[in-house]
Amino acid sequence: ARDDIDAVYIPLPTGVRSEWVIKAAQAGKHVMCEKPCGIDVAETEAQLAACNEAGVQFMDGVMFMHSKRLDALRETLTDGSIGEVRRIHSAFSFNGGDDFVSGNIRMHSDLEPLGCLGDLGWYNIRFNLWTMEYAMPKAVSGRMICGAARGDSPDQVPVEFSGELFYENDVTASYYCSFITANQQWAHVCGTDGTLRVDDFVVPFFGSEAKYTVSNTESNQHVCDFNMEQRDRIVSVKEHANAHPTAQEANLFRNFGDLVLSGETDPKWGEITLQTQQVMMACLESAKQDGARVEL
């Protein structure tokens, strides 16, 4: 392998990705890998084993993990603003249109067998894992609402998918992802004392700040007079969207680069990739059983 390359970014289709992640690692290159990292858990484990053996850094390309908004969100989650987390909802979708369904590589089961679940649901599941500080759900449920495929695809891929995650203490999460529903990328975290809402958790809306809303709505009643009072607080973090040096995408590559240059690898990134893949595959397994609970 040549000496003037330290790291590679692997955006190849999921169906052929694992082979190249492993080859890159074996050549001593640090790896930034697109998601879903493997077509199944075994592939992701093989990638991580190869990186571990070669002593190179592995990181998946989930941009929002590198947004400064997450620091603010964590503070809100731990400072009592919404109490104990009880329920997480999220939705991530875009409507690819007919051209997408008939021509995009994400509609080919050899290239992207996980369809919208791999492309979009990866973010929903990661957001759940992040919110729960990487506790694994005890069990999951998933439903493939509909599937489709382009003409040359051997099988259908998920085009619309919903899932539910069951954590300890009856904390639950539900998510929805779709290639045929309009753009949306919202997440709600509902606690015992309030809720928080992020309207753009994956790709922040164009602007110079990343925001979210904390709600502590109150119902007040005096005899026959009642008021449902809205108490919303908007939290804003200075961080540009799009191609600005402060954007989460820039942070992603900066953080990866810093790790590579530090000479120390951080196993956390590979571990959360594996967790994401494990939860995703369990959801898909459940979908094959029409939503039956699958233990983790």
Token representation of residue 257:
């680069």
E strands within 11-166? 30-33, 58-60, 85-95, 139-148, 157-166
Among residues 4, 170, 258, 264, the one that binds a second copy under rule CB under 8 A: 170
> Distance between CA atoms of 85 and 218, rounded to whole angstroms?
18
Query: What is the widest separation between alpha-carbon atoms in the chain?
Result: 79
Among residues 127, 176, 201, 212, the one that binds a second copy under rule CB under 8 A: 176
Q: Does 145 bind a second copy (CB under 8 A)?
A: yes
| Separation of CA 235 from chain center | 22
Subset of 64-83 contacting a second copy (CB under 8 A): 82-83
Nearer to a second copy, 241 or 281 (CB): 241
Instruction: Cite the DSSP H helix spans in 199-267.
Output: 248-262
Give 84-122 as a DSSP string. SEEEEEEEEEEE-HHHHHHH-GGG-TTT-TTHHIIIIIH
Instruction: Report the SS3 class of residue 234.
Output: strand
Provide the b/e sequence for 40-66 (b: ≥16 CB within 10 Å).
beebbebbbebbeebebbbbbbbbbbb
Among the listed residues 60, 57, 120, the one whose alpha carbon sits nearest the alpha carbon of residue 252: 60
Subset of 221-260 contacting a second copy (CB under 8 A): 224-230, 241-243
Q: Does 138 bind a second copy (CB under 8 A)?
A: no
Subset of 1-60 contacting a second copy (CB under 8 A): none
Nearer to a second copy, 230 or 258 (CB): 230
Beta carbon of residue 270, minimum distance to a second copy (angstroms, whole number): 27
H or E segment to which residue 266 belongs: none
Among residues 9, 20, 100, 186, the one that binds a second copy under rule CB under 8 A: 186
Total residues at interface with a second copy (CB under 8 A): 62
Among residues 47, 200, 275, 276, the one that binds a second copy under rule CB under 8 A: 200
Among residues 188, 260, 277, 294, the one that binds a second copy under rule CB under 8 A: 188
Beta carbon of residue 264, minimum distance to a second copy (angstroms, whole number): 30
Beta carbon of residue 52, minimum distance to a second copy (angstroms, whole number): 32
Interface region with a second copy, contact rule CB under 8 A, candidates 36-44, 90-98, 103-111, 120-128: 90-98
* Residues in Cβ contact with 68 at an 8 Å cutoff, skipping those fewer than 6 apart: 210, 237, 238, 239, 251
Q: Does 158 bind a second copy (CB under 8 A)?
A: no
For residue 220, how many other CB atoms are within 10 A of its CB?
A: 9
For residue 221, how many other CB atoms are within 10 A of its CB?
A: 9
Amino acid identity of 72?
Answer: A
Beta carbon of residue 35, minimum distance to a second copy (angstroms, whole number): 17
Q: Does 174 bind a second copy (CB under 8 A)?
A: yes
Beta carbon of residue 157, minimum distance to a second copy (angstroms, whole number): 15
Beta carbon of residue 174, minimum distance to a second copy (angstroms, whole number): 6
Nearer to a second copy, 151 or 219 (CB): 219
Residues found near a second copy in the complex (CB under 8 A): 82-83, 86-87, 89, 91, 93-95, 141, 143, 145-146, 160, 162, 164, 166, 170, 172, 174, 176, 178, 180-186, 188, 190-195, 199-200, 203-207, 215-219, 224-230, 241-243, 290-293
